[in-house]
Amino acid sequence: MNIAQALEYYGELDSFERREYAWLLEHILKINHLTLKYKSDQLLTFEQHQQFLQGIERLKQGEPLAYVIGEQAFWSLTLKVTPDTLIPRPDTEILVEQALALIQPNQDLQILDLGTGSGAIALSIAKERPLSNVIATDFSSTALQVAQHNATLNQISNIRFLQGSWYQALNSSHQFDVIVSNPPYIDEHDQHLIDLTHEPITALTAKNQGLADLEVIIGQALQWLKPAGWLLVEHGYDQGQAVQQLFSQAGFNQVKTVKDYGGNDRVTLGQL
């Protein structure tokens, strides 16, 4: 079976399915999209064909492509992802953009990422701002193993990983110029959770209509931020106003909410 036959084997596919199958083949064959297109007569080995069939079956069961191939592109990085970590979303790059706008390339700042998961946010910032020192925390030891692997994979050394829930991983000597976080913010009863069956539920949902973890992060940030320090958090599309109120109640200034690529409220930030 060649590439073209492999892609046609399953009959009529919608555009999304066809693209996912092509991505799967690109990963298995270790080629890019153009090579896949112009070498459609290239024969698959038996092992490659079996990998493709197994991958297709996993996709049919609803498993995300990132878990099937074990990696996901984010910012300028290629990241290992496993079912122990969320799959980084493009909208989370808004959080990285906003953080980088506050950190000049020549500054030696202290940065904290809470609930780092695969390390996507922390590693993106650390790579773009190599003079800064980044600490990333997570309560999950398995997630931190993935994040540490991603630091090694992308040759990023100005970062440390600490285990603990939110600020509990820190000691009293830690003080930061910028704190970032993409915490769980989906309400426990949200109907959209039906479609998110393969990702870790603890990284997705929070009590109090999805605001419980945001309340902790925002409410406790003051004791960990330096004077004039910044806090930036990702949140749900309908939580902008509520999160702004949490910022204001905690004593932050210059509070604003930034929209994602789809025009939805996505990141709120404020300064002490």
Q: Are 120 and 98 in contact (CB under 8 A)?
A: no
**How do residues 221-272 score in pLDDT, each as one tens digit?**
999 999 999 999 999 888 999 999 999 999 999 999 999 989 999 999 999 9
Structural domain of residue 51, as residue ranges?
A: 3-61
Residue 220 lies in a domain: yes
SS3 66: helix
Where residue 8 falls among pLDDT bands split at 50, 70, 90?
A: confident
Residue 69 lies in a domain: no
Q: What is the pLDDT of residue 84?
A: 85
In this structure, are 100 and 229 located in the same domain?
yes
Q: Over range 124-150, report the average pLDDT.
A: 96
List phi, psi (to 5°) of 41.
Answer: -90, 5
List phi, psi (to 5°) of 230.
Answer: -115, 145
CA angle (260 as vertex; 255, 262 as ends), nearest 5:
140
List phi, psi (to 5°) of 175.
Answer: -140, 140
Residue 202 lies in a domain: yes
Residue 73 lies in a domain: no
In this structure, are 234 and 105 located in the same domain?
yes
Q: Are 232 and 216 in contact (CB under 8 A)?
A: no
CATH number for position 143: 3.40.50.150
In this structure, are 190 and 241 located in the same domain?
yes
Q: What is the pLDDT of residue 33?
A: 80
| Long-range contacts at 236-242 (CB < 8 A, ≥ 24 apart) | 236/185, 236/186, 236/210, 236/265, 237/264, 237/265, 237/266, 238/265, 239/185, 239/210, 239/211, 239/214, 239/265, 240/265, 240/268, 242/211
Instruction: Tell me the residue type at 99.
Output: A
Please say if the pLDDT value at position 93 is more than 80: yes
Residue 21 lies in a domain: yes
In this structure, are 210 and 143 located in the same domain?
yes
In this structure, are 114 and 27 located in the same domain?
no
Where residue 197 falls among pLDDT bands split at 50, 70, 90?
A: low
Number of domains in the chain: 2
Q: Average model confidence (pLDDT) for the chain? A: 87
In this structure, are 41 and 93 located in the same domain?
no
Measure CA 175 to chain center.
24
Q: Over range 60-76, report the average pLDDT.
A: 89
